[in-house]
Amino acid sequence: MLHIVDDEDVVRDSLSWLAQSRGIAARSYADGAGFLEAAGGGFDTEGDCVLLDVRMPGMNGVAVFDQLTVRGLAARLPVIFLTGHGDVPMAVDALKRGAFDFFEKPFNDNQLMDRVQEALAQSRRAGEAAAVQARLESLSAREREVLDLIMAGKMNKVIADELGISMRTVEVHRAHIFDKMQVKTAVELAGLLK
């Protein structure tokens, strides 16, 4: 989902149309506070990106970006700043602080949408990695030990001997691990954790 945050109706409408022409779902917000309120509800598992105007009445784009950073969302939510009043120091500062990119208005539509698609892909990868990490954290300490030995290529009997447990217990742990990690085979598990 592309989130467009700009105080100008015409800019929001134009960017929404441009995104839709590329098959990108878009949602627009007239101010930073409205966007931050919506951001509290979480984001799309298919990836998100924010086109954020720097100069807006009330909360400006930089303040919105700071709030995303404080909330721990900036890594999962690439931000592309847009401005009609940009300068080189502002762009450099935004990029140093973790912005995905910085475009000065007027911008090339194709270049902007290419970067949006790259940002969405990055967001998707970050979301997938976070989901895998959450699944890993759901494993018990013993399941984690069994997982490590499975990843080392060890058979159930060897795992049982090394951990001093029965082979049936290893099989139960293995089934729980596969269930929690949402895989059916050790090969899928290895691919997920590579």
How many structural domains is the chain composed of?
2
- Do 117 and 171 belong to one domain? no
For residue 164, the enclosing domain spans 139-192
- Do 85 and 148 belong to one domain? no
- Do 44 and 112 belong to one domain? yes
The string of pLDDT tens digits covering residues 24-44 is 999 999 999 989 888 776 665
- Do 101 and 149 belong to one domain? no
- Do 24 and 83 belong to one domain? yes
CA–CA gap between residue 54 and residue 146 (Å, rounded) = 50
- pLDDT, residue 86, reads 67
- pLDDT, residue 43, reads 63
CA–CA gap between residue 64 and residue 142 (Å, rounded) = 43
- Do 77 and 169 belong to one domain? no
- Do 124 and 47 belong to one domain? yes
| pLDDT of 147 above 60 | yes
- pLDDT, residue 93, reads 82
- Do 118 and 50 belong to one domain? yes
**Can you say whether residue 122 is alpha, beta or left, with left for phi > 0 and alpha for psi between -120 and 50 degrees?**
alpha
| 10 closest CA partner among 104, 105, 78 | 105
- Do 79 and 162 belong to one domain? no
- Do 151 and 96 belong to one domain? no
| 56 closest CA partner among 30, 88, 36 | 30
Task: Output the average pLDDT for the chain.
Answer: 89
| pLDDT of 118 above 90 | yes
Secondary structure class of 41 (helix, strand, coil): coil
The string of pLDDT tens digits covering residues 60-75 is 888 899 888 888 887 7
- pLDDT, residue 31, reads 92
- pLDDT, residue 60, reads 86
Please report, for the domain that includes residue 152, its CATH number. 1.10.10.10
